[in-house]
Every structure is written in structure tokens, then in C-alpha cells.
Amino acid sequence: MLAVAAALGLSLVSCGASSVPDPQGAWVPPGYRLVWQDEFNYSGAPDSEKWGYSTGGNGWGNAEVQFYTDKRTNSYVDKGRLVIRAVNEGGMWTSARLKTQYKADWTYGYIEVRAKLPQGVGTWPAIWMLPSFDTYGGWPRSGEIDIMEHVGFDPEVVHTTVHTLAYNHKNGTQKNHHEKIPGVTTGFHIYAIEWTPQFIQWYIDGKPFFRFDNEGKTFAEWPFDIPFYLIMNVAIGGTWGGQKGIDPKLKEARMEVDYVRVYQK
């Protein structure tokens, strides 16, 4: 997602029924150990020690139409999975945007999310990261890492992007990549990054497909030496998700998350 401004936060780290591939056998780069996780092996509201919410309906800088809430109708855990649910409530869309801000953040590591994406033209789910501090200034100066974005009008393609002062969509210089992955709305896939001082490498189901290297210049190219927190949301409409409109027959859209795991060396 495109952040309008990076948020301020605290630097905290807390430890904490699947289809193929077996999540217990998920590939992890050598040398990493698990430091944070949510397996969603409980029911009810998402764990408040790990997750908070962004709420409101101001378009989020992208002309999105949903109103984000912290209601159980929009986010809950059931049968071992987190559900982020966008709902058409009489013409008004509500949804949820969960974040680890103020609860956990990381500088470098291997971050993976096993998820099934929503279906429907007009949907715009994302798994992404923002800096905990405006160390280099507001967005995009302190960076943004988009682990996965998907738009419902292009259902078999996933997108990855980094935003920095030198590389961002406003200048038309953002560094991004898209990959065709059949079945992302009907089955679970593992979306991950390996983030080191030298590079950020993206993976889907353990297979590398895009890499952004530290050019060794300034923060304008590489602000990724500071803590970032994780965000997961389902947006509706907007400058990208709504390019082909919103299906008028669409009543709800769900992103299901099997687990979130963070590893570090």
C-alpha cells in the first residue's frame, strides 16, 4: 500500500488446518531462528498483545472507499486462521487493517505470511511494512516495503514494491515486480522477504523472484536500516484497486492468514 506518512512508534519485539505446502515444513533461509509468531491457534479477536488496528475512512491517500474498524465483523480468528473481512454494509464498505505497530518491530530478518487472498474486482489486499520512526523524514523518505499486493481485477498476479525518496510512485521511479501465481485466491501461498543490510529478497512458497540491493549510497536509496512493523489489510477500490471499478454484486471479500512468522539471525 502507498503510505501517506510514516508513523511514529516504539521499538518493541515480543515473542510469541492447512493445505499444501505443509506450513511446518516451510522453507527458511539457513541461519535464522524464530523470534516472533502468531499461528492463530485460538478463536475470537486477534491477540491484542501482538496486533493493533488502524481505523478510519479518509481514503488512506489512495481514494480507497472502505472504513477500517476494529470490529469482530471485520477481523477475527476462527479454525486456526485470521480472517480480514471487507463487508458491503448497504453500500458502505467496512474492513480491517491490522498492524504490529507499538507491539513488535524488526530491523532485518526473514518475514513470512501464509495467506489466501480475496476474490472480486475492486479488492486490494496487502501485506506490507512501514518504519516505526520517521528517522529520515515522512513518507517516502523513511521507506516502505510491500511484501505482497494484489488487485482483484488481475487475480493471478501478485506485486511487490519498495518506496524510498529516490524510488517512489510519485516520481515514477519505484522499484517493483509482478509475478503470475495461479490460485492465489483459492489456495494458500507463503509470501516472504529476506531483509539484510545488503538486500531485500522476495519469495513466494520459498522460491526467490525479486531482489532489491543496497547500492551503498544514501538513505534516499536505502532507508532500510531502521525498525519496521508489519501491516495486513484488505482495501476496497482506490487509485489502483478500483481502476476497473468495484463489482456491484460483491458483498464481502476475505483474506485468510494461516500464520505470521518472523526469523532473525
Cell numbers 529516490 correspond to: 166
| DSSP 8-state code for residue 7 | P
Cα–Cα distances (Å) from 93 to 63, 69, 125, in that order, read 13, 10, 14
144 as an active site residue: the answer is yes
| C-alpha grid cell, residue 67 | 472504513
**Measured between alpha carbons, how far is 212 from 195 in angstroms, rounded to an integer?**
10
Cell numbers 473481512 correspond to: 85
Q: Are 228 and 58 in contact (CB under 8 A)?
A: no
149 as an active site residue: the answer is yes
Give the residue from 182, 190, 211 showing the smallest Cα distance to 28.
190
Q: Which of 64, 112, 144, 194 is catalytic?
A: 144
Alpha-carbon dihedral sign for residues 158, 163, 166, 172? positive
Q: Which of 64, 112, 149, 221 is catalytic?
A: 149
What positions carry a catalytic annotation?
Answer: 144, 149
